[in-house]
Structure 1
């Protein structure tokens, strides 16, 4: 829900002007009415040294929301017929009842105005919101759904990426690494892995299924492997270049026999390290491609979101051309450097 109604473009001669939107002016007090309440939540988040930047970002984001809202109101103003008095009054009563008298009074006090003035602002705010909804519905939400031809073209473009799951293998593996500068010592690592492999082979010899063997191998992986996934379980190795698996590991896994320990072999490594490993594959999932009919639902949602975003961007470009926006950031941050909440304060 939107913030409580406030007079966004009030005349405040004792407050610095922070923005102009067409004929309207915004003052720092306008922004502070909305930022004051959420600063208590913003300040405890993150390092102490970043408090000032978070406060500045809060003011900037709040002003941006205010400007966007005012642009939409200005854009909808030429169509007063979009909202009739009956529907307006119904919305006023509905929101008033939903908020409750206690919340209404709290917001009135926060706005610093009398009851009659607050209700006038409240009613104005509701009408503006209704006008905004109508404008957005007409200019943004009314995006044209993609045609069957457009959907098929998008599917063909993404079929081998988004809509294809490559073949994969569930693998327990015991890795050991060395810095590349110590590659001469790799034979000793291989020798140690041969010893561990012999222990694993003896432990799993009585198991009759790949999964049972994997369960018996798991403790050895947690105890001896230096692989990043060792402490969280097995790895899924995908037959794709999009995931950065060691190529030697993938080549061996691709031709492995389910449920059998691989020999110990050296990994390809990278610029920083070399290594060796052995593994056991206990599950294989064949690759699969999502059908066009199934993918359509995803594509329609994705393409509609893109078109609505394009419509919104185009709408704001048109509104800013009609009602030029000028932000005075220096004025927006007045008082922050000297605030007791700023990062430089003791």
Structure 2
């Protein structure tokens, strides 16, 4: 399945790191000018399982559901880009134009929720790539997952940078009324031109703020994720982003310092050379000051917030602004309402609770 093309984040398609081949540019002498942006190609992938587990102390959840691999939003900084290499695809243009979608994901999730050993805890939607990227309008896989979670009173944490989340207010609002749902919108900058270059197919900053307001008005707990914070490029906006989101109805907030794992570092450096050449050296220097001399750091406790005085100042600014604006902690989600598919009876020693404490 192929859809039309549009602006893209990456300008290159470096080979996946597991490939035994290399791609080299070739001039055949015919000229022809620049090639048009590549179209989006959708590839079905049968979902053998639904819930991915993690034991990261940096994350507020231990499980997630990921409807898509690759993301049309084309965010040049996306930490998930290197995962496309597992499919023999490039983390560059392939990541944003060759989208794998999980066919049968809702059915697989229902089976896992019905398993005798399953214990309920909030599930994250949007932990890898955006569950509301443009192809979701047609495929509806994220909505099907939400329908399963809503039907069985299972709590969910949604993270997105798309206003398409408003489509599912008919599910999210009733779930939120039972303490089962919260939504966080990612917002790195309020500068529309910069956002268009960093995140070429994501919703505009203004549209994301509108989505926050509509979620909040419908009674859905909504937060803002100031992410990524890019030293010397977007960090000066931390306070402005928090203030705008608070005015729109955001009640909780977090931030993530830019991290550039694997092939993302070279892709981001290329992006800087094309879009911010005068600032490129300074941006990379400031990022290295936050990353122990490198461009990324995968260690728990450091990968989200960085290290050193520069990173500490970013964190302190975020904390002071969030406190001044009245942000609180994300709401606890209720796991006691969970009812497994098929009416499975819960063990008596669990006292009728499907998973105990909330988030």
Shared fold by TM > 0.5?
A: no
In the superposition, the TM-score normalised over structure 2's length comes to 0.19
Which of structures 1 and 2 has the larger relative contact order (alpha carbons within 8 angstroms, sep 6+)? 1
Higher helix share: 1
In the superposition, the TM-score normalised over structure 1's length comes to 0.19
